[in-house]
Amino acid sequence: MKFILKLEELGLLILFSVIYFYYFNGIWSLYLSLFFVPDISFLLYLITKKLGAIAYNIFHHKGVMAMVILLGLLLNNQLITKIGLIFMAHSCFDRLAGYGLKYLDNFDHTHLGWIGKSKHKNE
């Protein structure tokens, strides 16, 4: 099942990237400069686990990114739409790598299971 989910995320990563580049004439410099921006939310883990998890989840939640894309479309603002597409592609990339939304108790505890040093807890 994990393989099928990863294939789905790969397909979505490709889809959102194609939409960005083909339908919105996206440029590589913007795509590459923003692709890992959602990961800056990790820095809030330095303050508290809870704040870090909340920030991470906001910037990696596909529903939030869908709302950003919709907002850009409704406002007819291509920059907002492009940012939403790039962040959505990033979320797909993270899920493809096995990273899910974070629970508040531990950085390694995600909605896809345990990762990192705690991966053994999945067994």
pLDDT in tens, 46-83: 999 999 999 999 999 999 999 999 999 999 999 999 99
The total of structural domains in the chain comes to: 1
By CB atoms closer than 10 A (0-12, 13-18, 19+), residue 94 is buried
By CB atoms closer than 10 A (0-12, 13-18, 19+), residue 60 is buried
pLDDT at residue number 1: 64
Tell me if 36 is assigned to some domain.
Answer: yes
DSSP structure class, residue 105: S
Tell me if 77 is assigned to some domain.
Answer: yes
pLDDT at residue number 107: 78
Tell me if 50 is assigned to some domain.
Answer: yes
Tell me if 123 is assigned to some domain.
Answer: no
Question: Which domain range does residue 95 map to?
Answer: 2-118
